[in-house]
Structure 1
Amino acid sequence: MCESRRRVRASPGDLEVNDLSEPTVRPNETTVPLLPCASVEETLAFYEALGFKATYKQSKPYVYLALQWSGLQLHFGPAPKGLDPAREESGGCLVMVDAVAPYHTAFVTAMRQVYGKVLSSGLPRITRYRPGASRFTLTDPSGNSIIFIQRDEPAELEYGGSKKLTGLARALDNARILREFKQDDRQAFRALKSAVRRHGADASPVEQAIALCHLIDLAIVIDEPTDPWLTDLRGLELTTDDRQRIESELGYLVGLQEWLPPQ
């Protein structure tokens, strides 16, 4: 005799149910972030420039956008009253991937094709990618942050600079943390500028040059004058080995060759 109702014990991670007609909870969910949208037109223009496709869009009676790229889905709803995108406190999500470099390359390539340049400052923008880095951030016109993170990123990170380093080397590591993990280019600029003034005289020419290159790059991103740092950089006497080390570490910086002193 068959029972119409019986107790079912689900596999680990599932819920127990008593009715065979009721589904169990299984670990195959899909999470789709719902982000505030301050401007439908600007949001669509930015994400479509990156290669996203709109699978749904409406402006009335309320805003709702559904965008998709590769396996990534982003949905957007109405922005709360008083939202200021410039404060970059809107919303965000984490995108876990096997390797972040291909995603960064895809987005900067799309930006160059549509905008003629990489959007590295203001809104919208993408953070610079340092070879070997485990994350980067897209910030959209509404101030939302989409952070791409490598799945095997170290579980423990030293926020604020490695304690194993000293002087200018520690300041550079601190600036890296501020840029890549805290998304604070302005604070990274301030910290590195102060460190160059305090520790620059005690550092080797190549260490000074690396720090000055980072300051120039940061100054460009936050729209500060680059002349003081360019002048100091071009005044350094660098050996062939020094230049090779700088190019090896900072070759991803587009203007590097123009910044360095002539050979």
Structure 2
Amino acid sequence: YLYLAFRWRGFELHYGRASRNLDPSENTGGCLVMVDTVAPYHAAFTEAMRRTYGKVLAKGLPRITRYRPGTSRFTVTDPSGNSIIFIQRDEPTEVEYGGSKQLQGLARVLDNARILREFKNDDRHAFRALNSGLRRHGDSAPAVQQAMALAVLIELSTALEESERVPEWGARLRQLSLTMEERRQVESVVADPTLLKRWMPATA
């Protein structure tokens, strides 16, 4: 008889034996954990991963999704493929897939990419939507929106291990004129601003 239960920070998680037909490389189960704020939980998991594995694992099993400041959820996938999704209690109850209808052009494309990344954990779809949207709307968009799109493409390409076009996007990012506040906006749309360090332009 196989059964595991543990308690951590006010919630309990119980495991039972999985079906013999389940492939542990796929998601075998999942649950939601509602918390007041997700950032401390993500920090605790990433610190534990660094201690155990020497790095934060973004692929394979176990793994954890990236966390961008202000994000209202993240997912931990355990060694058996179970997804444990931490969600902030005040997260909006409605999500506008395709991007907010109150936005237009590249701003709406950016919002759609954010939703695909944070709510569906779909980096591939977010990458395609943003790459296409930048081609369609980039020339008419403000410099800060262009920079945000390029920054997210750099991060997604790195995460997907398809970084061939990163130098191209980085060169375009470096050519944009941004204020200090706009630089902060650009850095806020990625989980790891250090990825942008070599590409960020000087402030206007």
TM-score by length of 1: 0.68
- 2:94 is aligned, of 156, 178, 183, to 156
Between the aligned partners of 1:70 and 1:244, the Cα distance in structure 2 is 33
Aligned residue type for 1:132: G
Deviation at 1:262, TM superposition (A): 5.6
1:26 corresponds to which residue? none
Partner of 1:128: 66
C-alpha offsets along residues 3-32 of structure 1, whole Å, 9 cap, x if unaligned? xxxxxxxxxxxxxxxxxxxxxxxxxxxxxx
Q: What one-letter code is carried by the residue in structure 2 that aligns with 1:126?
A: I
Greater displacement, 238-247 / 187-196: 238-247
Alpha-carbon contact 2:61-2:77 (below 8 Å) kept = yes
- Hey, what does 1:143 align to over in structure 2? 81
**What is the letter of the counterpart of residue 47 of structure 2?**
T
How far off is 1:197 after superposition?
A: 2.2
Shift of 1:76: 2.0
Contact 2:110 2:149 in 1 (8 A): yes
Q: 2:48 aligns with which of 107, 110, 135?
A: 110
Cα deviation for residue 103 of structure 1 reads: 0.8
Contact 1:123–1:143 (Cα < 8 Å) also in 2: yes
Inter-CA distance 231–261: structure 2 relative to 1 (3 Å threshold): farther
Q: Establish whether residue 227 from structure 1 lines up as the match of residue 130 from structure 2.
A: no
Q: Give, in angstroms, the shift of residue 109 of structure 1.
A: 1.6
TM-score (norm 2): 0.85
* 2-structure distance, mates of 1:152, 1:168: 27
1:246 corresponds in structure 2 to: 186
**Secondary structure in 2 aligned to 1:85?**
coil
Structure 1 segment 151-230 matched on structure 2, within 5 A: 151-223=89-161, 225-230=162-167
Shift of 1:156: 2.3
CA RMSD of aligned residues (A): 2.2
Whole-Å separation in 2 of the counterparts to 1:220 and 1:195: 19
In the alignment, the residues of structure 2 paired with residue 153 and residue 113 of structure 1 have an alpha-carbon distance, to the nearest angstrom, of 30
CA deviation map 1:123-176 (0-9, x unaligned)? 321111121121111112222111111112222222331111122211111111
Q: How many corresponding residue pairs?
A: 199
- Conserved? CA contact 1:120–1:127, under 8 Å: yes
The amino acid that maps onto 1:139 is: T
C-alpha separation in 2, matches of 1:136 and 1:160? 20
1:75 paired residue among 8, 14, 18:
14
Distance 1:218 1:252 in 2: 10
The answer to which of 68-77 and 131-140 deviates more is 68-77
Alignment of 1:248-263 (within 5 A): 249-250=188-189, 252-261=191-200, 263=202
Return the structure number with greater helix share. 2
The answer to which structure, 1 or 2, has the higher relative contact order (CA under 8 A, 6+ apart) is 2
**1:240 shift after superposition:** 4.5
What percent of counterpart residues are identical?
59
- Structure 2 residue runs without a partner (length 5+): none
Asked if the contact 1:209–1:233 (Cα under 8 Å) also holds between the matched residues in 2, the reply is: no
Which residue identity lines up with residue 181 of structure 1 in the other structure?
F
Q: 1:234 is aligned with what amino acid?
A: A
Distance 1:259 1:196 in 2: 21
Matches within 5 A, 1:25-44: none
TM-superposed CA distance for 1:108, in Å, is 1.3
Determine if contact 1:100/1:150 at 8 Å carries over to the other structure.
yes
Supply the distance in 2 between the matched residues of 1:63 and 1:253 (Cα, whole angstroms): 39
